[in-house]
Amino acid sequence: MVKTMTMPKIKPNIYYVGVKHYDRRMFDDLIPLPDGTTYNAYLVVGSEKTALIDAVDGAKLYALIENLAKAKVKTIDYLVSNHTEQDHSEALVQLIDIYPKAMIVTNAKGKENLMVHLHLPEDRFIVKDDGETLSLGDKTLQFFNIPWVHWPETMMTLAQEDKIIFTCDLFGTHLAQSETFVVDEAKTFSSAKRYYAEIMMPFRKLIVKHIKKIEEIDFDMIAPSHGPVHQNPDFIINAYKDWISDDVKNEVVIPYVSMHHSVKEMVEYLTEALIERGIVVKPFNLTVTDIGELAMALVDTATIIIGTPAVLTAAHPSAVYATYLANALRPKAKFATVIGSFGWKSQMVEQIVGMLTRIKPEVLEPVVVKGKMRDEGRKALDKLADTILAKHRELKLL
Ligand code: FEO
């Protein structure tokens, strides 16, 4: 006998109807996705009304429709949009036709964004302010604004009676797995840290406030819009509390590029000098680096050192890109500097340091040599390692 297909139930009458995208390898044409991703959508079936919490990327519309059929949905009254980025909203364009009576529920900024980005019609919206509720009969949805995780309109939805918060991008992971819930905390932690580094880190200070707000809510499950559902909310909240804190670790991250081995030799020398002093070093050869791994390393590091040769007197384009990215992600690093090599003339220190406008680190004495490093260069790198040790000690990192 053929078994009737269904969708995973995460609470009574609440179903996971999202879509796994196992083989997606880039997000926003910017972020590598080594483990694919998911677009989570949840069907909340109340005694009187039914709501769909978030939708999916337009490319996966038909998979969502199939999942809704498997969940035996009769109709949808409300399409809740916690976040207007297209990976969660694009399918709304068709869903409002498939369910012609469904109203899109979002906040004022969400409505504005959906009208701008997807041309959704104004008369299909219900706008909810922070804290307002919506009754589904025996279930009540409550909406909380949590702006800038990841766009200005982001909000979360609480299913009050069932104690689930649907947090959209916040607490997500780009991790496609067959299981609905977290099964491997170590794997999920690593994936969540990469996701935090790439997407959430620029908004660290706002997330501090959001977590305070979240901790005033009565819930026992976090259902984000990417990756597995958290049955143990403390696991992900405690991880975030560590990442968003002002505390840094006794680590030095060295993104570098080397054209004729000179910079590589400097990086290798400095790496050994720092290790000898009890400091954890993470060198990243930018020619072969997964930029997500570099972003993860930036989450905790106390010090960033950019290694670059001079190209037409300026920094190598790969070093410029890594510096631009690091600055945009706004890690909490306290110190930074540049090491490098030039042939004729160099303006790369001024260029790289001038790019660190959002991190605002204390800039340590750079080490720039002409051509291949001599003893003088090695002494300067030893001195830099001593300075980093002293600075890390001042912060009581070791
Ligand atoms: Fe998963 Fe900001 O979209």
pLDDT higher than 50, residue 2: no
Last residue of a domain, one of 244, 274, 309: 244
- The pLDDT score that the predictor gives to residue 31 is 86
Does one domain contain both 212 and 259? Answer: no
Q: Which atom of ligand 1 is nearest to the CA of 86?
A: 3
Confidence label for 165 from pLDDT (cuts 50, 70 and 90): very high
Mean pLDDT, rounded, of the chain: 97
- Read off the pLDDT of residues 50-66 as tens digits, 9 standing for 90 and up: 999 999 999 999 999 99
Domain of 336, CATH number, reads 3.40.50.360
- Same domain? 261 vs 313: yes
Length of the chain: 398
Let me know: does 121 contact 141? Beta carbons within 8 Å.
Answer: no
* Model confidence at 256: pLDDT above 50: yes
Q: How far is the CA of 83 from the centre of ligand 1 (A)?
A: 7
Ligand 1 proximal residues by C-beta, below 6 Å: 83, 85, 87-88, 150, 169, 225-226
Query: Are residue 63 and residue 83 in the same domain, yes or no?
Result: yes
- Cα of 227 from ligand 1 centre, angstroms: 12
Locate the ligand 1 atom nearest the alpha carbon of residue 151 and give its number.
Answer: 2
Residues 284, 263 contacting (CB under 8 angstroms): no
CA of 88 to the centre of ligand 1 (A): 7
For residue 362, the enclosing domain spans 252-392
In this structure, are 239 and 266 located in the same domain? no
Residue 214 forms part of a structural domain: yes
User: How far lies 320's CA from each of 28, 119, 253, 303, 354, in Å?
Assistant: 21, 37, 15, 17, 11
Band of residue 4 on the pLDDT scale cut at 50, 70, 90: low
What tens digit of pLDDT does each residue of 311-367 get?
999 999 999 999 999 999 999 999 999 999 999 999 999 999 999 999 999 999 999
Confirm if 80 and 51 have CB atoms less than 8 A apart. yes
Are 54 and 82 in contact by the 8 Å Cβ rule? The answer is: yes
Domain count, the chain: 2
pLDDT above 70 for 125: yes
Task: Tell me what the mean pLDDT of segment 127-145 comes to.
Answer: 98
pLDDT digits (tens, 9 = 90+) for 37-53: 999 999 999 999 999 99
Same domain, 37 and 154: yes
User: What number does the ligand 1 atom closest to the CA of 169 have?
Assistant: 1
Give the single-character DSSP code of 351: H
H helix or E strand, kind and range, residue 78: strand 78-80
Q: Are residues 213 and 266 in the same domain?
A: no
Is 398 inside any structural domain? no
Counting atoms of ligand 1 from 1, which one is nearest the CA of 150?
Answer: 2
The Å distance, Cα 72 to ligand 1 centre, comes to: 27
Q: How far does residue 70's CA lie from ligand 1's centre (Å)?
A: 25
Q: How far is the CA of 270 from the centre of ligand 1 (A)?
A: 39
Q: Does 284 lie in the same domain as 179?
A: no
Q: Pick the residue with more confidence: 74 or 178?
A: 178
| The domain boundary residue, chosen from 205, 228, 244 | 244
Asked if 25 and 77 sit in the same domain, the reply is: yes
Nearest CA residue ID for atom 3, ligand 1: 85
Can you tell me which atom of ligand 1 is nearest the CA of 39?
1
Task: State the pLDDT at residue 30.
Answer: 86
272, pLDDT greater than 80: yes
| pLDDT grade for 1, boundaries at 50, 70 and 90 | very low
Ligand 1, residue 226: give the atom nearest the CA.
Answer: 1
Domain co-membership, 223 together with 304: no
Query: Of ligand 1's atoms, which has the minimum distance to the CA of residue 172?
Result: 1
Give the pLDDT band of residue 3 (cuts 50, 70, 90): low
Give the whole-angstrom CA distance, residue 33 versus residue 22.
9
- Which ligand 1 atom minimizes the distance to the CA of 225? 1
341 and 227 in a common domain: no
Residues 186, 134: one domain? Answer: yes
> Which of these three, 227, 244, 261, is where a domain ends?
244
Residue bearing the CA closest to ligand 1, atom 1: 169
pLDDT tens-digit readout, 89-111: 999 999 999 999 999 999 999 99
Distance 209 CA to ligand 1 centre (A): 20
Rounded-to-integer distance, Cα 221 and Cα 12, Å: 13
Distance between Cα 375 and ligand 1 center (Å): 50
Angle at 205 (CA atoms; ends 201, 210), nearest 5 degrees: 100
**Same domain for 232 and 281?**
no
Distance 351 CA to ligand 1 centre (A): 32
Task: Please give the distance, rounded to the nearest whole angstrom, from the Cα atom of residue 368 to the centre of ligand 1.
Answer: 41
